[in-house]
Amino acid sequence: MIKLIIVDDEILIREGLKILLSVYKDIEVVGDFSDGEEAYEFCKNNLVHVALMDIRMEKCNGVEATRMIKSIKEEIKIIILTTFKDSEYIVKALSYGASGYLLKNSSSEKIYEAIKGAYSGNVVVNPEIANMMLNENNNNKHVKENDINEFQLSEKEIEIIKLVAEGLTNKEISEELFLAQGTIKNNISTILSKLDLRDRTQIAIFAFKKGLM
């Protein structure tokens, strides 16, 4: 059973999400909160696996709440609920340890799959938002080849980084590259070591920042 909290300053959204997710028997909504600080206080003393977190809230927004929650309980997965206008906030939330991001108007099935994916340790990516962020990155980047070469990444490792940033699981990457899942797992461990990163989310951030997408 995945213990979930919902954090949004609009009560209609909180109630709507609870109704949508009530049909899934492997998810239990254990709390809903109107701002990030309330969520943080709850997480300190309760078992939470995943948080659905609005990015824009007046008192304590989703970026700051992500930083606070991950500082006390690294294992809690946080999925940012966002709009097309929030790319700068998304990158900052990811840098604090968020597991990915979804559009607020995503279907219940997409939200459910995102919760399951984040719980399993995968990066949750909304393709439309990702494309927008990548277009912004491509328009503004000044990435040089040496900026990547300094990390001594192989072509295969760079390809895996790109696929991780697209939100693919190890199984999906193995199918894409025609390699065993164990090989992909080993390559990701090597990538984390070479880049001195913590997890798949940080690999995705690296890909965005270095213009690998």
**pLDDT at position 195 over 60:** yes
- Among positive and negative, which fits the CA dihedral 156, 171, 116, 17? positive
Q: Comparing C-alpha atoms, which of 108, 113, 119, 112 is closest to residue 47?
A: 119
Which 3 state secondary structure label does DSSP give 180? coil
61-106 residue pLDDT tens: 999 999 999 999 999 999 998 876 667 778 788 888 898 888 888 8
118-170 residue pLDDT tens: 998 888 877 777 666 666 555 544 444 455 677 888 889 989 998 888 888 89
Gyration radius from the chain CA atoms: 17
Mean pLDDT of 190-195: 92
Q: Confirm if 91 and 205 have CB atoms less than 8 A apart.
A: yes
Q: Confirm if 210 and 140 have CB atoms less than 8 A apart.
A: no
Q: Comparing C-alpha atoms, which of 83, 156, 163 is closest to residue 122?
A: 163
Angle between helices 36-45 and 62-72 (to 10 degrees): 10
Residue type, 123: V
**pLDDT at position 35 over 60:** yes
Tokens (6 digits) for 158: 């760079």
pLDDT of residue 144: 44
What mean pLDDT is reported for the chain? 86
Give the residue with greater pLDDT, 19 vs 148: 19
Give the residue with greater pLDDT, 29 vs 124: 29
pLDDT of residue 95: 84
Which 3 state secondary structure label does DSSP give 102? strand
Q: Confirm if 69 and 40 have CB atoms less than 8 A apart.
A: yes
Tell me which DSSP letter residue 35 carries: S
**pLDDT at position 50 over 90:** yes
Residue type, 41: E
